[in-house]
Copies of this chain bind each other. A is one copy, B any other.
């Protein structure tokens, strides 16, 4: 996978002493009035391998860069832009241990919005939340052959507890299929106990070497659903139901036009029979696997002897599924919608949907403006609109405009003395820059204003989805030969073409182009198909892309 990924990001993690030096520097710059720290460069300088003098050099050069711009333009350096946005919008910070991430309140609030939505759907579809221990006996991991092969290189192991060497090493869960099955075996006796459908919200640990905030961290947060069924048909139906839940969530809440489909055998989850996936195209046109749902068949139930007695007294191994979405999805939102100015959040998941910026020059204007702003805020709160009133004295309105644009807030309301007199406000859209996105004279009358704002939020939600869909569609190329595939991939695009070749040929594509099969999409073109690689008949098209 090495060739497919960005240059090692693990080197961005640092000892605290060096990061302290950097942050002291930026603190000084802050006092010069620059609103934001250029943290992508700060993190770039956090290379423990660098000599201190190099860091000093960089810091000097950063000083001048800061004066030019706050966030590296997306078009100039997508990765630096991504790290800048995360740092400046205060979504996350680096933890002290290599590859770990602190999720800051603004980033965590996006995750909470994801949780709030999915949690309701999971319950509506019959799943109960519960909690499994995170420590798994090492022997459990070894029970399912392909599972141990997939996960053993990534494990964090507890070997000492309470001051003593442990007899058996404990795995810090990378995923919970093994411990879930250990328990299911004790709970499932007869067909009456099925289906058993549970979910847990938890942290998981995978010892990744190349890390990137949200996208791939040593520890991350997720939900993992686990179900057991009396028939293979029910398990398949459940696995498909849950990838549909994720798809609907991606489209309707995150405004991300994912492509749902089935993974190739090579890319299937370690221990699954089939893996369904939603694949999202990021702003740099790399694919992000944003959620997966696995039909586990009887792989784990055989390994853990999870059996039930059917109506006729016969014993069978249960059929199972598991499915997950993680904090990686937050990275997907950033990389789908963000632009040069920073973050752009879909209204349905935005922690702040509307920011109110009061504007006054003379002291005698202040009270009237602030009172009007406060009453507009209260109207929004009552209407269930997530609103922030930025009434601080310490920043200019212009600074605030930039700041909240960078934070991706969908709508801004400006209220100045003239607006107060006319009983109206100015409304600006984050997704339409400049004058074009600005409308004057919207009445402050509560019912009018609330209706207007709700309509605009819906418009922005649709507009983000529409824009991302056009972008996606203009960057997927239909290919009918390996030459065309290579051409598309080398242009940074996704290639879609008929595929019935071998695993070896799939790996060859990966080696030669850096692209993998992201999925065989559920939506397939009509007509006969010929494998782009072998010229043999093919039943399906596959999508190839470079990915995170």
Q: Which residues on A are within 8 Å of B, measured CB to CB?
A: 16, 19-20, 23, 27, 30, 93, 95-97, 100-105, 107-109, 111-112, 128-137, 140, 152-163, 169-170, 172, 179, 182-183, 185-187, 189, 192, 198, 202-203, 205, 207-209, 218-219, 221, 394
A159 and B160 CA atoms in complex are apart in Å by 8
B contact residues around A198 at 8 Å (CB): 105
Shortest C-beta distance, A34 to chain B (Å), equals 13
The answer to whether B157 and A159 have CB atoms under 8 Å apart is yes
The answer to whether A160 and B162 have CB atoms under 8 Å apart is no
The answer to whether A219 and B134 have CB atoms under 8 Å apart is yes
Partner of A100, one of B109, B133, B192: B133
B contact residues around A203 at 8 Å (CB): 134, 202-203
A530 and B178 CA atoms in complex are apart in Å by 60
A160 and B170 CA atoms in complex are apart in Å by 10
B contact residues around A111 at 8 Å (CB): 131
- Tell whether A172 pairs with B158 under 8 Å between CB atoms, given A133-B97, A218-B135: yes
Partner of A183, one of B93, B105, B132, B157: B93
The answer to whether A129 and B157 have CB atoms under 8 Å apart is no
A153 and B160 CA atoms in complex are apart in Å by 11
Q: List 19 A-B contacts (CB under 8 A).
A: A19-B186, A20-B186, A93-B187, A96-B136, A97-B133, A97-B137, A105-B129, A108-B128, A108-B129, A109-B129, A133-B218, A135-B218, A135-B219, A152-B163, A153-B163, A155-B160, A157-B158, A159-B159, A162-B208
Partner of A140, one of B96, B185, B394: B96
Q: A96, A136, A209: which has the most chain B beta carbons within 10 Å?
A: A96
Report the 5 A-B pairs with minimum CB-CB distance, sorted nearest first: A162-B207, A105-B128, A100-B133, A95-B133, A157-B160
B contact residues around A158 at 8 Å (CB): 156-159, 172
A500 and B207 CA atoms in complex are apart in Å by 53
- Tell whether A192 pairs with B133 under 8 Å between CB atoms, given A157-B161, A182-B16: no
Shortest C-beta distance, A191 to chain B (Å), equals 12
Partner of A112, one of B105, B129, B159: B129
Shortest C-beta distance, A68 to chain B (Å), equals 23
CB-based nearest B residue for A168 = B97
The answer to whether A155 and B162 have CB atoms under 8 Å apart is yes
CB-based nearest B residue for A169 = B160
Q: A133, A157, A219: which has the most chain B beta carbons within 10 Å?
A: A133
A154 and B135 CA atoms in complex are apart in Å by 15
A169 and B97 CA atoms in complex are apart in Å by 10
B contact residues around A137 at 8 Å (CB): 96-97
- Tell whether A104 pairs with B133 under 8 Å between CB atoms, given A157-B159, A158-B156, A172-B172: no
Shortest C-beta distance, A27 to chain B (Å), equals 5
CB-based nearest B residue for A200 = B108
The answer to whether A102 and B131 have CB atoms under 8 Å apart is yes
A158 and B160 CA atoms in complex are apart in Å by 7
The answer to whether B102 and A132 have CB atoms under 8 Å apart is yes
Shortest C-beta distance, A121 to chain B (Å), equals 16
A221 and B200 CA atoms in complex are apart in Å by 13
The answer to whether B102 and A130 have CB atoms under 8 Å apart is yes
CB-based nearest B residue for A202 = B203
CB-based nearest B residue for A95 = B133
The answer to whether A221 and B131 have CB atoms under 8 Å apart is yes
B contact residues around A129 at 8 Å (CB): 105, 108-109, 112
The answer to whether B179 and A95 have CB atoms under 8 Å apart is yes
A152 and B172 CA atoms in complex are apart in Å by 20
Q: A101, A128, A162: which has the most chain B beta carbons within 10 Å?
A: A162
B contact residues around A219 at 8 Å (CB): 133-135
B contact residues around A202 at 8 Å (CB): 203
A186 and B93 CA atoms in complex are apart in Å by 10
